[in-house]
Amino acid sequence: MTTVTCDRTGVHVQFPGWEATMTGLPRLLIPKSAIRDVSTAQGWTAEMLGVRSGLVVSGYRKLGTFRHPSGVRRLVSMKRGHPLLRIAVDRATVGFDEILLSTDDAESIAADLRSGVHP
């Protein structure tokens, strides 16, 4: 499963094995300076994410890049039954508008990021 950690430099996301193939990335660093907003949810979002490049197992797993009809580009690694960390980022820096990640540490990572989010 995707590993998410946070330190003073930002959020580190590691996509092991086949997940790297589905996302096109083995790892991603989201610098704190690129983070615009952060929120959490108890489970994954049911909103329409858009056209995908990756994997969707209906009702269980979403993994890959999704482009919403509005133009919003998201990197997604969601698994049902796990808290969701939603990070809005600067697209010019990260390549995405939002990062959606299922992680049991969503609340603590969000708290750490809120202390240093840049407007």
- pLDDT per residue, tens digit, the chain (119 aa), is 899 999 989 999 999 999 999 999 999 999 999 999 999 999 877 778 888 888 888 889 999 999 999 999 999 999 999 999 999 999 999 999 999 999 999 999 999 998 865 44
Domain-located, residue 21: yes
Domain-located, residue 66: yes
Check residue 31 and give its pLDDT: 95
- CA-CA distance, 2 to 71, in Å (whole number)? 25
Task: Give the count of domains, the chain.
Answer: 1
Tokens encoding 23: 């996302």
Domain-located, residue 42: yes
Domain-located, residue 72: yes
Tokens encoding 72: 């919003």
**Domain range for 102:** 3-114
- Considering the entire predicted model, what is its pTM? 0.91
Check residue 107 and give its pLDDT: 95
